[in-house]
DNA sequence: TATTTTAATATGTCGTACATTTTTATTTAA
DNA sequence: TTAAATAAAAATGTACGACATATTAAAATA
């Protein structure tokens, strides 16, 4: 047998086992948001463990947003916000290189895939908003001195596109992916000539296509806009 | 002032505050994965709280994968897997309707955006694998009786496309999004005529385009393949 | 010097106690 | 009898102390 087939010895702590039991219970009980949970002492007795251990297991579900507890009253099933925990761990410094690369690509995937939604939902006000950003951007001279503000406009523009999608989850994704994206670009391609602001298709071009072109034009231009990045993935 | 501007009174529990303090500490200390953390008692003393409370706050970070603790030895900074918590809460029954809709759209975004990666990385073996699925699929008669197995092939085919992307994060995303996608489609559009297997562009068409067409052809066909779903979003 | 034994250490688990606030039950007053 | 006031019960949050256990470091021994 290959050594890779060897699974690490189970060193499950008791709380880990309790967590499993609770997970099974929650699933089998077919509970839905708002439903009450048994009291801590009841659970502890049912599983034959201390309240301390039960509380730590419950704390995990609480952290994940699966349950909610109201002081002095009891616990109930919650409707978790799937992104909130994602956001908390999205720190570039903590993520390993593989994940960083994945996130880099993921942003590109989202950016292109989002084009459909943008075209489906764009309004005159949206265009106007983007235009105001591009105006300001063009008004800012392209000197290294201004790169920070230009990067801000860059982020604003792309964030604006996501806002048009109207998909809150997508918007939040973009928001948490962006810093990771920037970080990994600089980390893996520190070539100073490859500025993150150097695009063969400008935001102005994109905006004009958004106004007058088709969704296919727009997506195509977006891909060219992101060419610097696409070239980096193999 | 609008009532919506009113923020709920802060009813932060002590552990919440401890969590905040720890978060600040972790950030300011500029720790990286593998670095050791102070002992529980030290933290408790530094913050002037009991070990119980500290442990609960630490447990949250442990749940998120930000820290890791080795029994009898100490705690250290970990490299969190950002998706693992996401996966844990991705239960259709728990998510609210807005989130369900967002996830539905997100799958479409990913599916279209992934086309680029697929074309960039497809190999002969990948094509062969997809072909084997499509063969089996076509061999299965289109009767309600076989819908379960056909759905399985459908999932296999699309999963296969994500596998080609080589992006593990993306693959896992697809995997956790798929059940939510199916669930919300049935929930919001229970029309039995709108089968999830009824596509004007078949998997065979997609496969042939993947073999002989361009990435633009492929994406275009993918959009048509998903037309049933795209029509559902407004 | 090398090996064995001992001691110190840090997290995991347990039990008990109490604070606090909500809910329920009881008592009191009109 | 009904309504208000009061008391009791209930449940989570927090604290403290204790011990188990396995690792690591230190000390003792051959």
Instruction: Give tens-digit pLDDT for B87-119.
Output: 999 999 999 999 999 999 999 999 999 999 999
Do B137 and B219 fall into the same domain? yes
Residues B162/B171, Cβ–Cβ less than 8 Å: yes
Query: Is A131 found in the same domain as A36?
Result: no
Q: Is residue A2 part of a domain?
A: no
Q: Answer whether A77's CB lies under 8 Å from B93's CB.
A: no
Q: Find the residue in A nearest to B93 (Cα).
A: A32
A23 class by beta-carbon count within 10 Å (0-12 exposed, 13-18 middle, 19+ buried) = middle
Query: pLDDT digits over A89-102, tens only?
Result: 998 988 899 999 99
| B48 and B146 both lie in a single domain | no
Local confidence band at B6 (pLDDT 50, 70, 90 cut-offs): very low
**CATH code, B167:** 1.20.120.530
Distance in angstroms: CA A46, C1' D14? 24
Q: Each residue of B181-234: pLDDT tens digit? A: 999 999 998 876 666 666 789 999 999 999 999 999 999 999 999 988 888 887
What is the average per-residue pLDDT within B18-31?
93
Please give the pLDDT value at position B145: 74
C-alpha B115/C-alpha B125 separation (Å) is 17
Q: Are residues A56 and A120 in the same domain?
A: no
CA torsion angle B131 B134 B140 B142 (round to 10): -160
- Segments forming the whole domain that contains residue A18: 14-77
- Which residues, 6+ apart, have CB-to-CB distance to A94 below 8 Å? B32, B33, B66, B77, B78, B79, B80
**Each residue of A159-168: pLDDT tens digit?**
999 999 999 9
Residue A193 and residue A155 share a domain: yes
Q: What are phi and psi of B112, to 5 degrees?
A: -75, -45
Please report which residue ranges of chain B form alpha helices under DSSP H: 14-28, 40-47, 51-64, 82-89, 97-121, 124-139, 147-165, 168-188, 203-212, 215-225, 227-230
Within 131-160 of B, beta carbons closer than 8 Å to A belong to none
A207: closest CA of chain B, how far (Å): 20
Enumerate residue ranges in chain A where pLDDT < 70.
Answer: 1-10, 142, 144, 192-198
DSSP class of A66? S
User: Do B167 and A90 count as a contact with CB atoms less than 8 A apart?
Assistant: no
For an interface test with B, which of A55, A72, A82 has the most B Cβ atoms less than 10 Å from its Cβ? A82
Percent of chain B exceeding pLDDT 90 equals 75
Q: What is the mean pLDDT of residues B15-23?
A: 94
Q: Does at least one atom of strand C sit less than 7 Å from the CB of B55?
A: yes
**What is the token pair recorded at A161?**
């596109």
| pLDDT number for residue B79 | 92
Mean pLDDT of chain B: 89
pTM over the 0.75 mark:
yes
Q: Within a 10 A sphere around the Cβ of B207, how many other Cβ atoms?
A: 21
**Confidence at residue A4, expressed as pLDDT on a 0 to 100 scale:** 47
Strand C lies under 7 A from the Cβ of residue B40: yes
């Amino acid at each position: 047998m290959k050594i890779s087939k060897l699974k690490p010895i189970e060193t499950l702590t008791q709380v880990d086992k309790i967590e499993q039991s609770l997970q099974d219970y929650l699933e089998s009980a077919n509970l839905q948001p708002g439903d009450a949970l048994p009291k801590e002492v009841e659970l502890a007795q049912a599983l034959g463990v201390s309240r301390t251990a039960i509380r730590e297991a419950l704390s995990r579900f609480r952290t994940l947003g699966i349950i909610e507890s109201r002081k002095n009253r009891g616990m109930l099933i919650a409707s978790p916000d799937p992104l909130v925990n994602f956001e908390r761990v999205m720190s570039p410094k903590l993520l390993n290189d593989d994940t960083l690369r994945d996130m880099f690509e993921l942003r590109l995937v989202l950016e292109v895939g989002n084009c459909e939604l943008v075209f489906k939902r764009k309004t005159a006000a949206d265009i106007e908003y983007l235009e105001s950003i591009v105006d300001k951007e063009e008004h800012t001279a392209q000197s290294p001195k201004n790169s920070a503000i230009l990067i801000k406009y860059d982020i604003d523009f792309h964030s604006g596109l996501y806002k048009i999608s109207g998909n809150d989850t997508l918007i939040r994704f973009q928001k948490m992916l962006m810093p990771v994206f920037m970080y990994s670009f600089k980390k893996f391609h520190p070539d100073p000539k490859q500025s993150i602001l150097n695009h063969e298709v400008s935001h102005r071009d994109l905006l004009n296509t958004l106004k007058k072109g088709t969704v296919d034009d727009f997506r195509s231009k977006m891909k060219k806009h992101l060419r610097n990045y696409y070239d980096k993935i193999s």
